[in-house]
Amino acid sequence: MKIQLSDHFTYKKLLRFTLPSIVMMIFTSIYGVVDGLFVSNFVGKTAFSAVNFIMPFLMILGAAGFMFGTGGGALIAKTLGEGKRTEANRLFSLIVYVSLACGCLLTILGFIVIRPLAAALGAAGQLLEDSVLYGQVSLLAVPAFILQYEFQCLFAVAEKPTLGLSVTVADGVTNMVLDAIFVGGLDWGIAGAAAATALSQCVGGILPLVYFARPNDSLLRLGRTAYEGRLLGKACLNGASELMSNLSMSLVNMLYNVQLLRYAGEDGIAAYGVLMYVSLVFQAVFIGYSVGAAPIVSFQYGAQNRGELRGLRKKSFLLIAVFSGLMFAASYGLAGPLSFVFAGYDQALYGMTVHAFYLFAVSFLFSGYAIFGSAFFTALNDGPVSAAISFLRTLVFQVIAILALPLVWELDGIWLATAAAEVLAAAVTAGFLYGKRKKYHY
């Protein structure tokens, strides 16, 4: 039976509705992991370090997709909750068209700045050349990359989370197969890995574009629209938290790379890359749940159903707590095997990665609260609070920790920095939830 945004959500129904989004985000993260796995084992440690070195820059460009997807999605769902379907579709079309144009502009900008930026961050020699090569090939797919992120959010708004999962599986399988062909079979090296990723992003961005442009049975369809600066600005402001989160994480990852080059050299960047791959998969659970639950929150808020809103808040944070405990336990059990898969060919790198894993794992106990808290306020169309949580979590607390903790614990301080930032972010989220309870009646 089809689940609608207007339904009453029990734990079972909430998990059923959000599960496709969770699996979608996990699968997206896993095929990124496969990319790194092929590069590490078939091309080498320097190439693997190069992918992790330039990836934050590419993620900055793709972050616009999350801004349009989450901010626009919340506004579209709220509009649907108010019974204004025609207006919701005009807004949906405007957001998709504008994001596509932004992608084209960002591609051009990326080609201009990628080499000087990589050099300024400390890359030199083969690390610099590999970073630029991987980045330039990947830049060709930035418009599709932005659409891919955007539609991952909007499929849930359209009441089609399962279709969104199918598209994600399709682009993930495309990436894995092409990695095996380009890197493992044809020996195209790091350029082959970038080409595999770029082509898979085209699948994830263009297939939904075709679906929504044609007659369909979802709540949304692309069509004629008109430029409405006020609504577009509201959507962007509302999605500023997700934009800030992705921009900040990418900037912080660059800072991590600079610090790791200083304290541990290329081995440190490679070890951090493994942590980031695992972190992406684990945090994809929180992000996927938030993406899936946000349209429900927005719809119920638009419909002024306060009882349902309170139930969603309580159920969601209990589920986040369960997910957090399971991830912490899994990270300890999988530290050795996962480190071996990526770094088993180098004993020193393997030992460093396992040790880092144990320290970094503490962050999984706390990260979900701020991730969902930020998405919750985005769904309530309270962009400033959502942005404040994301800004503090992904930038301010991270920068302070990554600069201060190594002064005391050196390399271990770098591995503990994320956990320290997540603890502070969870506390800030709790404060905002308490302070805003009377305004939104959740």
Task: Return d(Cα 103, Cα 147) in angstroms, integer.
Answer: 8
* Vertex 245: Cα angle to 240 and 250 (nearest 5): 125
pLDDT along the chain (442 residues), means of 10: 81 91 82 77 83 85 82 85 88 93 94 93 87 94 92 86 86 90 90 93 93 91 87 80 72 85 84 82 90 90 89 94 94 85 80 91 94 92 87 91 94 94 97 92 86
Longest pairwise C-alpha distance within the chain: 61
Query: Which of these, 270, 242, 114, 137, lies nearest to 194 by C-alpha position?
Result: 137
- Whole-angstrom distance, CA of residue 79 vs CA of residue 382: 15
- The answer to whether residues 134 and 190 touch, using CB atoms and an 8 Å cutoff, is yes
CA distance 91 to 75: 9
**CA–CA dist 438, 257 (Å, integer):** 43
Q: pLDDT at position 276, please?
A: 82
For 246, list phi and psi in degrees, rounded to 5: -70, -40
10 Å CB burial of residue 168 (0-12, 13-18, 19+) is buried
The pLDDT value recorded for residue 250 is 77
- Give, as one character, the DSSP assignment of residue 71: I
Tokens standing for residue 81: 């909750």
Structure tokens at 143: 């418009």
248 CB neighbour count, 10 Å cutoff: 22
Place of tokens 């699948």: 203
Residues 6+ away with beta carbon under 8 Å from 131: 50, 51, 53, 54, 118, 123
Say if CB 269 and CB 254 are below 8 A apart: no
**Which pLDDT belongs to residue 32?**
67
Cβ atoms of 104 and 235 closer than 8 Å? no
The reported pTM is: 0.71
